Each structure stands twice: as C-alpha cells, then as structure tokens.
Chains A and B, each alone.
Chain A
C-alpha cells in the first residue's frame, strides 16, 4: 500500500511539474498574472509530493518491505536502521529520487526566498526548474521506478553494498546531489534572463547567492566523498581520478569559474554572456555526471545492473536540456550585451584568465574521463587514463591560476597597474619564497614539488593578509576588532575560501612529499617502526557486528616512552554478500594521521599490516571545509537580505567596500 502511495505521489508530482513548467512561462510572456502566480504554489506542492514519495520509500526500507524490488536489492533485515535509511540512495532508482528531491527542495527555497524578485523572473525561473523536474520524474516513472514490486516478495533482501555501509556514505550523496542540483538554480536564472533578454547587475545579484550556496555544498560533498574513499578503501588514497569522482569534479571546476564570473557581472556588469554560458555549462556537467554515473556507459556491467533504455533516456534528456539551452544561448546571448569594458591588466582580465584556466582544466578532466570510452566505442581497445595524465595536465593549469588568485583580489577593477601591484605584493612574494625553502627543509628533505606547492600556498595566504590590511585602510579608525567587524561577510567568505585553497594545497603537497608507509607481517606481540612511532600488535579478536563478523586487531602506538594511541583496525566479513571489507583505524592529528589497516591473514595470529604516516593529510579536508564555509559566509552576506528588504541599491557605507572586496 505505502509503495503505491509513493508511486502515486510521484505521478502527481509529475502532473504538477508539467503545469509548473508551462503555465507560468506562458503567463510571463503574455503578462497573465494569474498564470504567473501559479509558479510558487506549484513548486511547493511538487516538492511536497516528491517528499511524500521519498518518505514512502524510506518507510519501505525501514520496515523491511522486500516486496519492493529496490528495497530487496539494497537492504536486509540485519542492516542497522541508519543504513537502511541510507540505502534509499544506495542504488540507481533511489539516487534519482534523491536527485529529484533535492531539485524539489531547491525549487521550494526559490519559491520562498524570492519575494524581492519581479514576478516574471520568478515564474520563468521556477518554470525552467519545473521542466528539469519533468525530465527526472518521467525518467523515474518510465525507466527506473523505485516502487516496482517484486512478486513473490523476497524473504530477505540482498543487503546494501558493504562499501556503502559507512557514516560517510550516509551524508555524502545528499550533500553532493544538493550541490549538483543547486546549479539548476543558476541555470534556471540564466534561462530566464535569456528568455527575458535582460541581464543586468540585479540579475547577477539574485542568482549569485544561490550559486554560491550550491558551490559550497558541492565542495563539502566532494570532500566527504574523498574522506570516505580515504578510510574505507584501505589504501590511504584520497582521490583516485575515477570517472565517478571526475563526474562531480567537473561541475565543481566550472562552478568555481561561475561563482567568480558572477561576481564580475554583479560588480561591473561585464562577462554577461560568459556568465550565462558558464551557468549552462555547470548544470550541463551536473547532468552529464548523472548520465555517466547512472547510464552504465562508464561503469562496468557488474557495478549497476544497467539497462540500455535508461542510458538512451538520460542521453535524450541531456540532449534536450543542453541542446535547447545552448540554442537559446546562441539566439539570445548577443542581446544581453558585453557590459563594461576593461583593460588588459585589471581585475576583470585576471578573473577571466582564471575562468579560462578552470574551464580548460574541466575540459581536460572531461577528456580524460571520456577518452577511454571513446577509444572503446570505436573499437580501438581498452585503456585506462590514470592519475599520471590528470596530474600532468592539472598542475601546469592550476599553477598560474593559483598565482593569479593571489593578485586578483588586490587588483583594481577596470584598470590596474602592474608596478603598483608589484610594490604592494613584494612582501607577500618574499614570504612565499621563504616558506618554499623553509618548509621542505623543516620536513626533512628538499623536494621541488613541495617547494613549489608551498610557494603557491604561502602566496595565497600572504596575499590574503595584504588584502585584509588594504581593506582595513578604507575603514574609519578605531579599535581593531570594531574595524574588522566593519568589513562585509562576503569579504571574509572570499578570504576564507581562498585560505582554504592554500591549506588544501599545503596538505596535498606535504602528504605527497613526505608520507611514509610500511607493509609488515606481524604476529601478535610483534612491533613495527615508522617515522619515529612504534606499533605493537598486541591482540587480534573475533568480534560480531550487526550484520558482519570481524577480526579486530589491537595495535598500541608509542613514541619513545610515551603512549600515543591504541588503534583497532578491522577486517570485516559482511555476511549477506559474503564480502570482506577493510576497516582502517586512523589516529587523526592536526599535523599527521597514523593509518593502520589489516591486510590478509597468514595464520590466525599473523597478519599483513599496512601502516601509513601521513603528514598534514587532514589539511586536505580542512581546506575544503574552509572553502565550503567561506562560500556559505559569502552567500549569506547581509547585503543580499538588506537589498531584499529595502529593494533598493545601497547599504550605507559598505557598498564601496563590497565593490572592492568581492572577488
């Protein structure tokens, strides 16, 4: 009964989505207020019905309803309740439902927080989002119905893939999808602007906070996924450049470009068609990511039971959405105009360069992801494009981008002077060079890669300090705390996000340069040594989890005479799928992680133990966290709300600051 309710709710949501995508759009074109007014309630109702469907599927999972095929394939009576809930998005159909749910929530949010927007704009934006929802709802109802029954019902389910039975997997997909789908708002705003033919600073101001929130959430989502891979896969790696990761990374790169391009459009009115193009591209890449991950084009036959019907549907959907938006772009973009002009050396030109670099980087990732597919498609054999390719193309692209990242926030709009910038930044440059030399030497030995990375990381950090100082010079004198409080939140958001990048680079470089590992055969009582730490394998015990059995090792870590920590790595065997899993044990410190994983057992008391010392690896996620928080801080800047309330231009005093601060 409940699954049928869910199914029915999806059908209703589809009907509402159809209304929502047609009437408000026509209403906006004809000036029919009643039709336009439908947009908000329709979006809210649609979100509600999707939520009902989502609730029904969750209920089916929690109540172990194995007469639902999807539940039988992804759950089990032994599965702890938290993972049964996470099982909702453990497979193809549920992931789509989650995607659609996120879209519903974004629509809901737009319908609530859009009171200051012209009615035409809101109607068009929600109408475009409604069209996207139509596509996904149709897809679910036609080719991937999560409520399909299994008759006769299975006695028990096939269990959730043990890899996904992890707290990281509970939060990672919702975050990631929220970010992915969030770009649909920017996309819808762009479409609305193209239809309207009007694209001005106020347009950019409306769409900017939405885009920034989506970008921040996507950043956090990707970081969570990377953290999950780090401790679940047992290899200590944190990024594998595999197609699924790349699928989320491409929208991030383009989204980063979009966030910056929007800043220029808002502040200077420039880059208009470029901004619109990036918004289309970011959302298209989100859709492409969904296509790549869900259609089975890239995944092997065994990863998801693929169905060619699905692939064709998603491809057709992609073609319709992206094709029609690019057609609209080709038709209308020349109308929106070019906006303010700027000199060769100016903040605009630097941001444009960075935009281009980010876009090329996204292109390189796309190429690396699809090239093996293309080769295979043309019968030229199977190849695997691995980290060497990505690292080889990525570093040369990102290095100049990071260098510019330090300068651009300090450069003037419209026209900047290089000599002046050089004078302002000479101390930052000096500090960076010192860091580039001192840090590698302090870590033990010189390495060009680390030195260069530290140069860039320190450069970003040091220029941020210079920037803060320069900003404070505009603020009336007073106590330092009061003066700092004068600067707008969006400015701190920018600083924080940029600092996050610096922290991230430092983490990546230091781990890559100085990590140490050892694979040792240990019998109970044996000790191993790594980087000044002593690891004593004191015991191995059998333990029983809710749906697995495990061997749990006890490893006492000491440094000199001082006890550091006791680690309990596990080797689990998930009973239903008969699948072994390595559960690494990590001692996470600020400057290093100690990572211990059990390999294979040689005898019941002798194991291969893999031990890593990973300096500063936590900074990788710390940096992402800073970026995400920075983005959120910027998105919730007071001026968006103040403008929303006052409806007009100025926020006393801060406007000048904003203009120079936001980058």
Chain B
C-alpha cells in the first residue's frame, strides 16, 4: 500500500541530494582566478640549481608550458609529484617549477630524492612572485600559452584525472591553434 503523502519526504530528499551533488562537482579549488586569460606576471628569478643564472617567463614565449608552484615542505606536492613527473617525462609539455618560500638546499634535496620533473625551477625564496601569481596554497599549477597568457590554474594537487581531462586537452588545443 503506497500512499502519496508518505512519498513526500523521499522526493524532498532526492532534490536535496541533487543540490549536494552539484555542490560537490564544483571543486572549491577551481575558483576562477582573475589571472585567467591575462598575461602571466613577469618574473626574473635565480634558478634553483644554478643561483648565478636566472629564468624569466619571457624565456618561454612561443611555447605552451606549465608552471608548477612547489616547496619541499609541502605535503600535497609530494602527493602530486608522481603525476607531474609522468607528465614531464611524456614530453607533451615542458614543466617549469617555482620553488616557493623554500630553502635552496631543502628544495634540491627533495628533487634529488623524489626525481626532478622540471626543466628549470625558479627560486622564489621570499614568495614575492608567488604574490603576483596569487598563490594561496601550494601546490598550484598554471598552463601558459605561447603568447605568455595564463589559460588555466589549478589550486591543490594535480591528479591524473586533472591531467587527462583538463591539462592535456588544453595543451593540445593551445598548440594546435596558436
């Protein structure tokens, strides 16, 4: 015996679950950054491995590239590290690191132990460039196009799904069109 009024709670609950599900798909980490579709902020920083050499965002003009903000003290960086390594090894897109608020020796030791996916890591000891990029939690990852414009920003660890669904298609599109 099924009476309609006893079904009401179920219906309300179904709607409720729907809203929560929508809420879940909206990853709070993917807050649209005001930097999207803006030129990547300029930097000219010493390199992590070779302090006497510098690296600037201009060195990468004409290429689609990834900027990955990391630090040896950051646990989530360790979590995403294998994903970044794999992405870098695939050679699809060059990955540059921004070593953020770190000690040089710690950063180098970290890379030596876990592997170095970065062509070059810029060394942002006091986090000044991080401020320009609006870094508010390490790790963060940016996809920057040939013209030096930020096209995508990821806050938090990069997962294989993000690489597959977001980063790789975007890199492919950027390489094809421009």
Residues of A whose CB lies within 8 Å of any CB of B are 73, 158, 273, 277, 280-281, 284, 291, 295-297, 300-302, 305-306, 308, 311-312, 315, 318-319, 322-323, 326-327, 329-331, 333-335, 370, 373-374, 376-378
Contact = CB atoms under 8 A, between A and B. Distances in A.
5 contacts: A273-B6, A296-B28, A330-B9, A330-B10, A331-B2
Interface string B1-32: 11100110110011001011111101111000
Contacts of A322: 13
Candidate in B3, B13, B76, B137 with the most chain A CB atoms within 10 angstroms: B13
A297 B21 CA distance: 10
B155 interface: yes
Contacts of A284: 13
A311 B24 contact: yes
Contact of B1 (A296, A315, A335): A335
Nearest to B17: A319
Interface string B73-93: 001100000000000000000
Contacts of B156: 301
B8 to A, nearest CB: 8
Q: Which of B7, B22, B27, B28 has the most CB of A within 10 A?
A: B28
B23 A297 contact: yes
Interface string B118-154: 0000000000000000000100000000000000000
Shortest 6 CB-CB contacts between residues of A and residues of B: A326-B10, A330-B6, A377-B23, A330-B7, A311-B24, A334-B3
Contacts of A377: 19, 22-23, 26
A454 to B, nearest CB: 38
A295 B6 contact: no
B20 A330 contact: no
Contacts of A277: 9
B90 to A, nearest CB: 24
B75 A73 contact: yes
A322 B16 CA distance: 11
Pick the most buried of B10, B22, B26: most chain A CB atoms within 10 A of its CB.
Answer: B10
Contacts of B9: 277, 280-281, 326, 329-330
Interface residues of B, number: 25
B17 A318 contact: yes
Given A322-B13, A374-B23, A377-B23, A329 B28 contact: no
Contact of A370 (B6, B19, B27, B29): B19
A315 B23 CA distance: 11
Given A302-B137, A370-B19, A378-B22, 11 more contacts: A73-B75, A291-B20, A295-B24, A301-B29, A305-B76, A315-B24, A323-B10, A326-B13, A327-B10, A333-B6, A334-B3
Given A308-B27, A323-B13, A333-B6, A297 B75 contact: no
Interface in B19-57: 19-24, 26-29
Contact of A312 (B22, B24, B26): B24
A456 to B, nearest CB: 31
A66 to B, nearest CB: 12
A326 B155 CA distance: 38
A516 B10 CA distance: 48
Contacts of A305: 75-76
Nearest to A326: B10
A83 B104 CA distance: 34
User: In terms of DSSP, what is the predominant structure of the interface of chain A?
Assistant: helix
A566 B101 CA distance: 43
A68 to B, nearest CB: 14
A131 to B, nearest CB: 18
B28 A315 contact: no
A290 to B, nearest CB: 13
Nearest to A333: B6
A374 B10 contact: no
Contacts of B17: 315, 318-319, 323
Nearest to B79: A305
Contact of A334 (B1, B10, B14, B137): B1
A281 B10 CA distance: 11
A297 B29 CA distance: 11
Nearest to A382: B31
Nearest to A318: B17
A329 B26 CA distance: 32
Interface string B142-175: 0000000000000110000000000000000000
A311 B27 CA distance: 11
Contacts of A273: 6
Given A301-B156, A370-B19, A308 B7 contact: no
Contact of B20 (A296, A297, A301, A376): A297
Contacts of B29: 301
A334 B5 CA distance: 10
Nearest to B156: A301
Contacts of A301: 28-29, 137, 155-156
Nearest to B29: A301
A621 to B, nearest CB: 33
B36 to A, nearest CB: 15
Contacts of A315: 17, 20-21, 24
Contacts of B19: 370, 374, 377
Contacts of A374: 19, 23
A296 B26 CA distance: 11
B13 A376 contact: no
Contacts of A319: 17
Given A318-B17, A330-B7, A308 B1 contact: no
Contacts of B22: 377-378
Nearest to B159: A308
A67 to B, nearest CB: 14
Nearest to B28: A301
A338 to B, nearest CB: 12
Contacts of B76: 305
Most buried by A among B6, B76, B155: B6
Contacts of B10: 323, 326-327, 329-330
A376 B24 CA distance: 11
Given A73-B75, A301-B29, A322-B13, A308 B137 contact: no
